[in-house]
Amino acid sequence: MRRRVVVTGVGAVSPLGVGAEALWSGVKAGQSGIGPITLFDTGDFPVTFAGEVSGFDPEAYFEKKEVRHLDRVTQFAMVASREAVKDSGLDLGAEDTTRIGAIIGSGIGGLDTTEKQVLTLHERGVRRVTPFLVPMMMINAPGGQVAIDLGLRGPNMCVSSACASANHAIGLALHHIRYGQADVLLAGGSEAALTPIGLAGFCSARALSKRNDDPQGASRPFDATRDGFVFGEGAGVLVLEERERALARGARIYAEICGFGNTDDAFHITAPHAEGDGAARSMAEALRDAELSPSDVTYINAHGTSTELNDKLETLAIKRVFGDHAAKLAISSTKSMVGHLLGASGGVESVVSVKAIFEGVAPPTINLNTPDPECDLDYVPNTARELKIEAAVSNTFGFGGHNACLAFRRHA
């Protein structure tokens, strides 16, 4: 018997600010969080802007000693998780924490620590490498540190599947609660790969927009003039809870999470399948798992990276799955406002999706001024729209051909 699972708390760190409300209010207003990079000198780089979490002061959240032992990716995950738990109203001190856990995804992990310590090794020698290198750089550090911070003794793991990491983490958490392996799980993703080597890698891959003179207009999903994605960082975490338990304690429920689709293109290590096959199958599988028909869906939070192939092929995949109903869907890419947060994307976009359902607002896709003829659906251009959303899906597609789709519906 499948137990029903609901979302009772949300937390976020994003280029629009610290906190889920900063994210949601900025997204509703069509506000861009993209600007010049301040974390390091970009003088030698062809791209000088990103979706940076600017002004983030870790000492506002951690003791100085803790800051030295936590990579930025872990700091983001911990801050978002603390907020999500507080938002949920859970009193962890009164709970059986063997039934509460965390599944936090990351595509790259502690890159800042890794990069700096490699330089230390070559410039200052092996004895100067910090003994905290491994626990700071490892991709599972965010989930492990969240568990330590909050005292969560239930299921805990890390998912690393590039840009699909957070959706995979949330999907696994759904299954754990459905089938009785846990009652509450924190699930989402964190990423802080905005470092010199991280930026250099994506620049060399020619994946990024080069609109240095217009950072806020650079991420333009589905627009004919798009020229690449905008690098971002941040974290998004949901509190998933077994429905009857949540009702019994009088929790506020944002939405029900009801489906998860997980496929691979088996096509190319970076390029999406030429006909959007894996993306389409992931959406179809999420609908099947959720017991939803295509006509039940009102809104799609698209992967929408602002790259030529992704936006065109995601549009094709949506048409394959939804048929004639595709033209009636409200679709938006919030990456137009925060950039591409890599492994954290699905976490942040799930926060947006459940808020959209709860408040009845479809967020916009900003910078959509010259529609691409091959991207001919309703992408809610530039201005948010009041809309009663009965069900929504959220897509993430990653390098390696990974596709992960989540389905949510209004709780009833």
Q: Which residue out of 340, 402, 405, 411 is catalytically annotated? A: 340
Residue 410: how many other CB atoms lie within 10 Å: 18
φ, ψ at 30 (rounded to 5°): 70, 35
Is 122 a known active-site residue?
no
Residue 204: how many other CB atoms lie within 10 Å: 10
- CA 254 to chain centroid: 17
Q: Say how far apart CA 405 and CA 395 lie, in whole Å.
A: 5
Q: Which residue out of 163, 258, 375, 405 is catalytically annotated? A: 163
Q: Say how far apart CA 333 and CA 380 lie, in whole Å.
A: 9
Sort residue 342 into left (φ over 0), alpha (ψ -120 to 50) or beta.
left
Q: Which residue out of 168, 176, 273, 303 is catalytically annotated? A: 303
- CA 92 to chain centroid: 25
- Pairing state between β 156-157 and 17-18: unpaired
Please give the positions annotated as active site.
Answer: 163, 303, 340
